[in-house]
Amino acid sequence: MAPEREWPRQRFTWVDGAWFAFAIANLAAMVLLAEWETVPFHFIWVSLTLLYGFRVWKMGPTLWLLAAVMGLTGAVLTVDFVRGAQPADELTEVPLMAAMFLAMVWHARRRLAMTQEVERVSDANLRLLQREQQFVQDASHQLRTPITVALGHAELIQRTAADPVTADDARVVVEELTRLRRLADRLLVLASAEHPGFVHRTPIEIEPLLVDAIRRWGHVQRHWGISVVDVTVDADRDRLALALDTLIENAVKHTGDEDSIELSVRREGGSAVLTVADTGAGIAPGDLDRIFDRFARAGRAGSRDNGMGLGLAIVRAVAEAHGGTVRAWGSPGRGASFGIVLPLSPGAPKAGRPTVTTPLSSGQPR
């Protein structure tokens, strides 16, 4: 049991006052109605039990009140026994009711102690999580500057090196520093994902977002395609573009030059479903349930480069920040599809124009 000093301070409230008035009235009824005194007697004890379950006083006041109730009710029963109004076995009701009350006190205080311990652990975990988030944010910010400086020097060495070996070594350094900078950026995004200001929503059309994404990635040697309907969602354009780029990067990483990548959006009830589908290596069935987890590194079937396990976690964080969800489906050797499901804008029309599918030439965005 927790030490007495750890229990919260309690003040005398109107509930306590109402019970005291109720108890005195029933005590008076015990005196005036000797033949029916067991009814007000039980009213006193039952109401005391109910009140304690609601208030859970400290042990000191509880024991004093218990002693007072035992003494007063026992005194009235004793007087009535002496007067012949009640049998002697009625006196056993007092210790029995007191024992039942003490058992309830033990359970109530045990429950309260457990509740306080759960709250303490929850508060400690919350503070720990906040410190971890702050650490990730600070570390990401602090890492970006030295990474950028080192990356600039490595790129300069790569461009100016006369020795092919040195140039090749510099290229490796540039690639790894770029990967490290991307990791820092993604950690910063994930650390900020649960903050209230993570997204700033405005009504945006999805089709221009997909077209812009194709333009950014169209230089990559793939067979690109786009399939759209007229859809408007309330979303943060920059965050949604980040999630879309992450899905496209994932598709590019796990496809070859002759594979296809298609971006599409469709209506599904009151939601818009943005999908990035490819014809690459596919996904192992056992990875579908955890592929969006942080550091899951599930990757694709047959893939040797599964990344850092943060990209798809960012996609899920962005989707959930918009009140949406994510999906993944596919099978080994038959490609994979990743979807972002977002609520439609409240003012969006119920039906848009027909689906428009546009296949694009390899590496030739339109």
How do residues 210-235 score in pLDDT, each as one tens digit? 999 999 998 999 999 999 999 999 99
Q: In this predicted model, which residue has the larger pLDDT, 311 or 36?
A: 311
pTM above 0.75, yes or no: no
d(CA 348, CA 105): 59
DSSP letter, residue 295: T
Cα 276 versus chain centre, distance: 26
DSSP helix, strand, coil percent of the chain (3-state; round to 5): 60, 15, 25
| Every domain range in the chain assigned CATH 3.30.565.10 | 199-359
pLDDT averaged over the chain? 81
State yes or no: pLDDT of 4 exceeds 60: no
What pLDDT shows up at residue 342? Answer: 95
What pLDDT shows up at residue 322? Answer: 92
φ, ψ for residue 59 (rounded to 5)? -65, -40
- Residue pair 223/192 in contact (Cβ under 8 Å)? The answer is no
What's the pLDDT tens digit per position in 169-186? 988 998 888 888 887 777
Give helix 59-83 / helix 14-32 axis angle, nearest 10°.
Answer: 10
- Residue pair 10/31 in contact (Cβ under 8 Å)? The answer is no
**Sheet with 325-330: strands ordered across:** 325-330, 336-343, 271-278, 260-268, 223-228, 356-359
What band does 151 get if pLDDT is binned at 50, 70 and 90? confident
Q: Domain 199-359: state its class.
A: alpha beta
